[in-house]
Amino acid sequence: MIRTAFAALALLAPLPLAAQTVTGDAAAAMLFAPQSAEVEIVKDVLPKDQAKMLAMVAKDQPYYAAIAISPDEGLMSEATMAAANHHTVEAAVAAALAQCNAKKAGATDCVIAATVKPEGWQAQPLQLSAGATADFANYAGGALAISAMTGAWGIGASGEEAIAACAAKQEAATDCAVAIAD
C-alpha cells in the first residue's frame, strides 16, 4: 500500500516543472553537463554482487533515470525496467515503476533499485534530461518545450513550435509545455 501511494505521488511530482518558464541565459546557469552522471543504489534492495553489477550498467544510462525491479522475481527478470532520459528523477521513478508493475508476475509491487542523476546534482528550478541538455547547445532563442511525463522535448522559434516539436517526438507526450523562452 505504501509503495502504491509512493508511485501515485511520484506520478504527480514532475507535473509542476512544466509550469516554470525561464530564459535561455537562466537555463544555461542551471543545467548540468549532459555526459556526467552518478548512480545511487538503493540499499537493501539487492545482494551486494547484484547491486555492484547494476551500478556498472546504470552508469551508462542518461540522467535522469531509475531502475525498478520486482522483489518477487529479482534483478534478472523481464519485469526489471529502466526509465532514462527524463527531466526529473521523480518522473523516471514513476515511469520505471509503472513499466515494472505492468510486467511483473509476482504479487509484490515493484521497487526502485537505482537512480541516475547528473554528477554533482542539486535541486534547480529547471531540470532537463541529458538529451535535452545536450540539445540545448543548439538553442539560439525562441522556446524549448518539455514533457514532464515522457522526457520528450522540442525546440522551436515560438512556444507553439516548441510544443509541436516536443509532441512529435513521442505519441504519449501530451503534456508538452514551454520551459525555456526568450
Q: Say how many domains are in the chain.
A: 1
Q: Which cell numbers hold the place of 50? A: 547484484
**Are the beta carbons of 153 and 17 closer than 8 angstroms?**
no
Query: Taking 50 as the threshold, does the pLDDT of residue 14 lie above it?
Result: no
What are the tens digits of pLDDT across the range 53-111? 999 999 999 999 999 999 999 999 999 999 999 999 999 999 999 999 999 999 999 99
At 40 the pLDDT is 97
* Domain of 133, in residue numbers: 2-181
Percentage of the chain beyond pLDDT 70 is 90
Q: Which amino acid, residue 38?
A: E
List, in sequence order, every residue forming a beta bridge with 179; answer none if it has no partner: none
pLDDT of residue 9: 36
Q: What is the pLDDT of residue 165?
A: 96
Instruction: Please state the separation of Cα 137 from the chain's center in Å.
Output: 20
- Looking at the DSSP bridge assignments, the partners of residue 127 are none
Q: Measuring CA to CA, which residue among 97, 73, 72 is closest to residue 83?
A: 97
Q: Is there a contact between 64 and 149 (Cβ–Cβ < 8 Å)?
A: no
pLDDT category at 4 given cuts 50, 70, 90 is very low
d(CA 145, CA 129): 12
Query: Three-class SS of residue 1?
Result: coil
DSSP tag of 119:
T
Instruction: Give whole-number Cα distances, 143 to 25, 55, 87, 140, in Å.
Output: 12, 36, 16, 9
The grid coordinates of residue 170 equal 513521442
